């Protein structure tokens, strides 16, 4: 019995045996027949047993105790480093798809998805993960207020957050919300919020921008406020992109450096327009707007109110002294 145990001990303490065991574990892990975790455990066991075997060899050759200890420590370090490198390599290397070889050739890959489909899939994935969009937007840097007509998300005097990530969370909201950007130097990425059903209004104030191209695709937006823009420049604000906002019902450009309101011709549902304090002088684009109810032209360059004479639904008109002489044209 004792002799058998001695033979078993010699067998198990053979470093070559455990080297072979480590190679087998690596092969099984890379082939996918054994998980990387299980392969890693076997590799570390083989490393430990090989170190023990090396110690037994040092004992067999009757090495000095100090030298034996140093040699054993060196063996452990070398085997440990080698095992660590192998394990890291295995974790980084893609595994062979064993299942594909068993069931036949893999199915053809699906065609690439559009950006819209990709956003929809990402939104669905986040919904299935039950993520809280409020917490997500707060973490990105949005200030949030609970208003009577919905949620207000605000950025003031700092760069706007990552809009790609923000858009994913905004699409998860199940109640109306407004976006308010104050004193921002850029609105880059804002276009990613287009098409979000619960986005009711966008407000941009005291901004350094000189065009509104990021808003071109907001066809379903109900209200837009752009005030005191550009804030620190004498450049005019280009609003030509607003031709795409065909569903807009309220437009407020108060005190912005706007000289032309030609885009409002496309806004067939526009009910309220504020161009007070702007550079606008021509109201002719309003001639075909039959839905207009409120108009504010105070402190603008407008002197002729005749273009709105046909607006039979006009209920409130705010003017100053410059427009008084043209009031008879409305009668």
Q: Where are the domains of the chain?
A: 2-103, 116-330
Q: Which residue has the higher pLDDT, 89 or 189?
A: 189
The pLDDT assigned to 130 comes to 52
The pLDDT assigned to 327 comes to 82
Please state, for a pLDDT cut of 70, what percent of the chain lies above it: 69
The pLDDT assigned to 197 comes to 92
The pLDDT assigned to 103 comes to 41
Residue 20 pLDDT class (50, 70, 90 cuts): confident
**Residue appearing with tokens 């019902």:** 249
- By mean pLDDT, which of 40-44, 139-143, 154-158 is the weakest? 40-44
H/E stretch holding 151 reads strand 150-156
Query: In the CATH hierarchy, which fold is given to the domain comprising 116-330?
Result: 3.80.10
Helix, strand, coil percentages (3-state) for the chain, rounded to 5, are 45, 15, 40
* DSSP per-residue string spanning 53-116: HHHHHHHHTT--HHHHHHHHHHHHHHHHHHHHHHHHHHHHSPPP-HHHHHH-SPPPPPPPPPHH
The pLDDT assigned to 134 comes to 94
- Closest by CA position to 187, among listed 230, 134, 249: 230
**Six-digit token pair at 217?**
């695709």
**Residue appearing with tokens 């808003």:** 215
pTM above 0.75, yes or no: no
For 159, residues 6+ apart whose C-beta sits below 8 A from its C-beta are: 184, 185, 186
Instruction: Give the model confidence (pLDDT) of 266-309 as tens digits.
Output: 999 999 999 999 999 999 999 989 999 999 999 999 999 999 98
Instruction: Give the model confidence (pLDDT) of 191-202 as tens digits.
Output: 999 999 999 999
- Contact, 14 vs 53, CB < 8 A? yes
- Contact, 174 vs 198, CB < 8 A? yes
Measured in whole angstroms, the distance separating CA 265 from the mean position of its chain's CA atoms is: 34
């Amino acid at each position: 019995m004792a002799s058998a145990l001695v033979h078993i001990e010699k067998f198990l303490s053979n470093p070559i045996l455990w080297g072979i065991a480590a190679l087998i574990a690596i092969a099984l892990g890379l082939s996918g027949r054994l998980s990387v975790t299980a392969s890693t455990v076997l590799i570390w066991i083989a490393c430990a047993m090989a170190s023990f075997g090396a110690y037994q060899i040092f004992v067999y050759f009757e090495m000095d105790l100090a030298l034996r200890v140093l040699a054993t420590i060196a063996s452990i370090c070398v085997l440990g480093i080698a095992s660590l490198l192998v394990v890291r390599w295995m974790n980084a290397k893609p595994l062979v798809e064993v299942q594909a070889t068993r069931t036949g050739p893999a199915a053809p890959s699906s065609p690439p998805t559009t950006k819209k489909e990709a956003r929809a899939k990402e939104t669905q994935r986040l919904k299935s993960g039950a993520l809280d969009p409020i917490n997500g937007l707060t973490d990105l840097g949005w200030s949030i207020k609970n208003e009577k007509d919905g949620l207000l998300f605000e950025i003031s005097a700092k760069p706007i957050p990552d809009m790609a990530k923000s858009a994913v969370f905004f699409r998860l909201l199940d109640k109306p919300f407004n976006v308010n950007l104050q004193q921002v130097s850029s609105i880059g990425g804002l276009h990613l919020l287009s098409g979000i059903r619960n986005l009711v209004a966008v407000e941009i104030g005291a901004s350094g921008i000189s065009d509104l191209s990021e808003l071109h695709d907001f066809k379903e937006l109900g209200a837009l406020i752009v005030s005191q823009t550009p804030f620190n420049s004498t450049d005019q604000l280009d609003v030509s992109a607003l031709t795409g906002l065909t569903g807009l019902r309220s437009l407020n450009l108060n005190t912005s450096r706007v000289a032309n309101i030609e885009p409002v011709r496309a806004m067939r549902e526009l009910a309220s327009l504020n161009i007070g304090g702007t550079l606008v002088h021509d109201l002719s684009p309003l001639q075909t707007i039959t839905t207009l109810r409120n108009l504010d032209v105070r402190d603008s360059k407008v002197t002729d109110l005749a273009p709105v004479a046909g607006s039979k639904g006009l209920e409130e008109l705010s003017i100053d002294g410059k427009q008084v002489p043209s009031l008879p044209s409305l009668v």
